[in-house]
Amino acid sequence: MKVAKFGGSSLASGEQFEKVFNIVMSDPKRKIVVVSAPGKRFASDIKVTDLLIECAEKCLKNEAADDLVEAVIERYASIARELGLSSRVSNMIRNDLLTVLSGDKSNPERFIDAVKATGEDNNAKLMAAYFQHKGVEARYVNPKDAGLIVSDEPGNAQVLPESYERLFELRNLPGIIIFPGFFGFTKKGEVVTFSRSGSDITGSILANGTKAELYENFTDVDAVYSVNPNIVEKPKEIRELTYREMRELSYAGFTVLHDEALIPAFRAGIPVNIKNTNNPSAPGTKIVHERTTSNGPVIGIASDKGFCSIYVSKYLMNREIGFGRKILQILEEYGLSYEHIPSGIDDISIILRKNQLNPALEEEIVTRIKTELEADEVKIERNLALIMIVGEGMRQNVGTMARASKALADAGVNIEMINQGSSEVSMMFGVKAEDEQRAVIALYKEFFAPVPVNV
């Protein structure tokens, strides 16, 4: 049995719905279909989820949102018309959305989650109606009825362990199951969503719970590429990579799969296959526990902007017990999370997402570290990009760091910091944000066959 998840671009129009139907029907093992909310039909289009968020925010401010409500309903209605479905489905979706929008607004976060969840929920109902219209035995299944129980963390729900045993019962239902992604229910019966793009997580949870042989994640690209195709033209496709490699690449900027989505599948040992809805015959990319490392040390290169670092220097820092804990405690008191902590014997750099800080907060943190920890120097470096080279093969290859450093030096890119994971599967370089593309291109040329680049 397979679980197949389809992203927003795969469900943006009636034509895309037909593709999904044909893909599901082409393989009788595809028992469970997880759907996202309708995505963009064209570059300047707006995703239904974004429309719903704006709609919810206006309602919370008691502002008129009729135009947004009608825009959302029309998206589903237009798909229904393209598929030849009766207006009954569109009317059902309209009533559902209006009911949720008129619900309790005393807890804004919970209200927004309930509104966001209608995107996937109504698309699953529409998809089930289409399958039935085509004469196929199919049913919409609500996450609450299926037993998908999650933590009470609006916008960042985590699946609870008891869900998996309950979800196994989905195997016993006849026909094809159409399941909405992105949300679950608390033990008290409240709707709570996963983090954005969380339908990937739902698919992975269902694959684990039903003990599927494969989790297929359908998107709009033929495969995971070794580097961002917006930077390098026609980059090498990755046919197979490990969970750990994909996790590192997702964290560092690869957006093809939610970085939390692999956890349930990984724990159950279920392989993940990323495929293209618009080209389903392409083999895609398989994510597995182990693979042969015949490709060389590096499988992929990822990058992301929007970082800054807090640099702290103090003579004999290494002899001061609890120094690192005291710095992190200061950050914790301000509710700040960090990404990396490269360090030397007398200095330490704490890498954070810069959107957590503002000038007043920066000044306060610098002052506290200087006074409370008696640091010799504290400064904040802004506008950093992190570049990650990833590959299980690095553990068996000598000189990967030297090759990467030389490639960056030859490209005139100054390395602000270096950090290598203890697993030796990844290596991170911090560079100035304006050097990001140049650095990525230099590393790609070093570890992969040179190709034309999009500068």
Containing domain of residue 231, as a range? Answer: 2-288
State the burial class of residue 137 (Cβ atoms within 10 Å of its Cβ: 0-12, 13-18, 19+). Answer: exposed
Statement to judge: residues 119 and 232 lie in one domain: yes
Reported as a single tens digit per residue, the pLDDT across 337-361 is: 998 888 889 999 999 999 999 999 9
DSSP H or E run through 118: helix 108-133
Q: Residue 241's beta-bridge partner residues?
A: 287
- Gap between the Cα atoms of 136 and 324, Å rounded: 60
- Gap between the Cα atoms of 443 and 427, Å rounded: 12
Q: Is 211 contained in some domain?
A: yes
Q: Who's near 116: CB < 8 A, 6+ residues apart?
A: 49, 52, 53, 56, 182, 183, 193
The CB-based long-range contact list for 338-345 (8 Å cut-off, 24+ gap) reads 339/307, 339/386, 340/386, 340/419, 340/428, 342/417, 342/418, 342/419, 345/317, 345/318
Average pLDDT, the chain: 92
- Gap between the Cα atoms of 327 and 222, Å rounded: 45
Statement to judge: residues 421 and 320 lie in one domain: yes
For residue 281, what pLDDT is reported?
95
User: How many structural domains compose the chain?
Assistant: 2
Q: Is 86 contained in some domain?
A: yes
Statement to judge: residues 49 and 186 lie in one domain: yes
Q: Residue type at 190?
A: E
Q: Is 454 contained in some domain?
A: no
For residue 113, what pLDDT is reported?
97
Statement to judge: residues 270 and 384 lie in one domain: no
Using the structure block, give the residue that is written with the tokens 């729900």. 157
Reported as a single tens digit per residue, the pLDDT across 187-243 is: 999 999 998 888 999 999 999 999 999 999 999 889 889 998 889 988 999 999 998
CATH of the domain at 74: 3.40.1160.10
Statement to judge: residues 174 and 310 lie in one domain: no
Statement to judge: residues 346 and 277 lie in one domain: no
- Gap between the Cα atoms of 188 and 110, Å rounded: 13
For residue 421, what pLDDT is reported?
67
Q: Which of 288, 314, 336 is the last residue of a domain?
A: 288
Helix/strand/coil (H/E/C) assignment for every residue in 156-193? CCCECCHHHHHHHHHHHCCCEEEEECCEEECCCCCEEE
Q: Who's near 425: CB < 8 A, 6+ residues apart?
A: 244, 245, 248, 390, 391, 392, 394, 395
3-state secondary structure of 350: strand
Check if the beta carbon of residue 401 is closer than 8 Å to that of residue 301.
no
Q: Which of 239, 266, 288 is the last residue of a domain?
A: 288
Statement to judge: residues 405 and 274 lie in one domain: no
DSSP H or E run through 220: none
Q: Residue type at 157?
A: A
CATH of the domain at 441: 3.30.2130.10
Statement to judge: residues 334 and 407 lie in one domain: yes
Using the structure block, give the residue that is written with the tokens 């080209």. 279
Reported as a single tens digit per residue, the pLDDT across 21-67 is: 999 999 999 999 999 999 999 999 999 999 999 999 999 999 999 99
| Residue list for the binding site for substrate | 49, 120
Q: What angle do CA 222, 227, 229 make, to 5 degrees?
A: 60
Q: Is 452 contained in some domain?
A: no
Check if the beta carbon of residue 291 is closer than 8 Å to that of residue 379.
no
End-to-end Cα spacing for the chain: 44
Q: Is 434 contained in some domain?
A: yes
Q: Is the pLDDT of residue 182 over 60?
A: yes
Q: Is the pLDDT of residue 2 over 90?
A: yes
Helices (H), 37-107: 48-60, 66-82, 87-101
Percent of all residues in the chain with a pLDDT value above 70, rounded to a whole number: 97
Reported as a single tens digit per residue, the pLDDT across 279-326 is: 999 999 999 988 876 667 899 999 989 999 999 999 999 999 999 999
Q: Who's near 91: CB < 8 A, 6+ residues apart?
A: none
For residue 450, what pLDDT is reported?
58
- Gap between the Cα atoms of 121 and 143, Å rounded: 9
For residue 425, what pLDDT is reported?
87
Check if the beta carbon of residue 299 is closer than 8 Å to that of residue 237.
no
Look at strands 191-193 and 176-180 and give their pairing: unpaired
Tokens of 202: 């739902």
Please give the full DSSP string across 232-274, using - where no structure is assigned. BSSPPEESEEEHHHHHHHHHTT--SS-TTTHHHHHHHT--EEE
Please give the full DSSP string across 189-208, using - where no structure is assigned. S-EEE-STTTHHHHHHHHHH
| Residue list for the binding site | 5-8, 49, 120, 219-220, 225
Q: Which of 265, 288, 311 is the last residue of a domain?
A: 288
Statement to judge: residues 135 and 219 lie in one domain: yes
| Residue list for the binding site for ATP | 5-8, 219-220, 225
Q: Is the pLDDT of residue 9 over 80?
A: yes
Q: Is 293 contained in some domain?
A: no
Check if the beta carbon of residue 299 is closer than 8 Å to that of residue 330.
no
Tokens of 447: 């570890």
Percent of all residues in the chain with a pLDDT value above 90, rounded to a whole number: 80
Statement to judge: residues 215 and 359 lie in one domain: no
Statement to judge: residues 250 and 315 lie in one domain: no
Reported as a single tens digit per residue, the pLDDT across 355-407 is: 999 999 999 999 999 999 999 999 999 999 999 999 988 877 788 889 999 99
Q: Is 453 contained in some domain?
A: no
Q: Is 177 contained in some domain?
A: yes
Confidence of residue 186 (pLDDT cuts 50, 70, 90): very high
Statement to judge: residues 436 and 366 lie in one domain: yes
